[in-house]
Amino acid sequence: MSTPDKYPTDLTDPQWEILEPLLPPRKWRRGGPGRPPCSRRQVINGILYLTKTGCQWRMLPPTFGRWKTVYGYFHRWSRTRRWQQIMDTLTQRERQRQGRKPTPSAGSIDSQSVKSATQKQATGYDAGKQVKGRKRHALVDTLGLLIRVLVTPADTTDRDGLMGVLSAYFASGVKRLKKLWVDGSYRGEVLKGWVAALKQSHKIDLEVVEKQGPGFAVLPRRWVVERTFAWLFNYRRHAKDYEGVPRNSEALIHIAMIHLLLKRQTRIRWF
């Protein structure tokens, strides 16, 4: 009897033990009507394989099951923001594992424009980067762990992206974030006025960190978010934006971070 193919992206038993309780409960009951559900572990393995290799949904190896089933789970949990909820839980656990509080008090935010492989909705042209596609606005903590991400058309200004990210983050009820390090693109009277109004309910300070002199230089505090983008680029699905809707683009970013967090929290340390 042949055994299913194994791939480097497949979840290990310890990783699955962490992830399984965070998934939505099954609706099907043993002995109930309908067919038994598929293996959700194999579904997750298929989604991780796609995110890491960058293949098309239709090109998923059959060992993961029907590609439509795998995509169906991904899309359903993307629509309900389940991927973000799982990432948030794992991020809080990782911060606590490193001796931090569950939510950060400081972080960095930056944007990244990438070409899109679809002509569908929500694409634009970033004249500064000369990129036609979408823009990822990422808010990370001082460890580089992703706190919030917002995917917009590439012609969205960094100012609008920051306001969208912070509005969504604070709407979740979090108020501990007090300090953000940003670059020079996050200036302007409109943003200054918005932050001033925000301080009435959330005391947050934006500090601009700019490059001094010509040539390459590692900017204090700012390099952390750049490293996070590099982590995402190790997952080939993020080399471009292939998704029809930005919500699915955000979900795949959440999935990449979930995979990174699971590997960190199950890493065997030798002393």
Over residues 5-37, the pLDDT tens digits come to 789 999 999 999 999 999 998 775 555 555 557
In the chain, which residue ranges form alpha helices assigned H by DSSP?
A: 13-19, 40-53, 67-79, 82-97, 158-171, 189-198, 223-233, 246-265
Question: Thinking of the domain 102-240, which architecture would CATH place it in?
Answer: 2-Layer Sandwich (3.30)
Question: For the chain, what percentages of helix, strand and coil (3-state, to nearest 5) are there?
Answer: 45, 15, 40
User: So what's the pLDDT on residue 143?
Assistant: 94
> Above 80 in pLDDT, residue 215?
no
User: So what's the pLDDT on residue 68?
Assistant: 95
User: So what's the pLDDT on residue 192?
Assistant: 80
For residue range 175-197, list pLDDT tens digits in order. Answer: 788 888 888 888 878 888 888 77
Largest separation between any pair of C-alpha atoms in the chain: 70
Give the start-to-end residue ranges of the domains of the chain.
Answer: 102-240
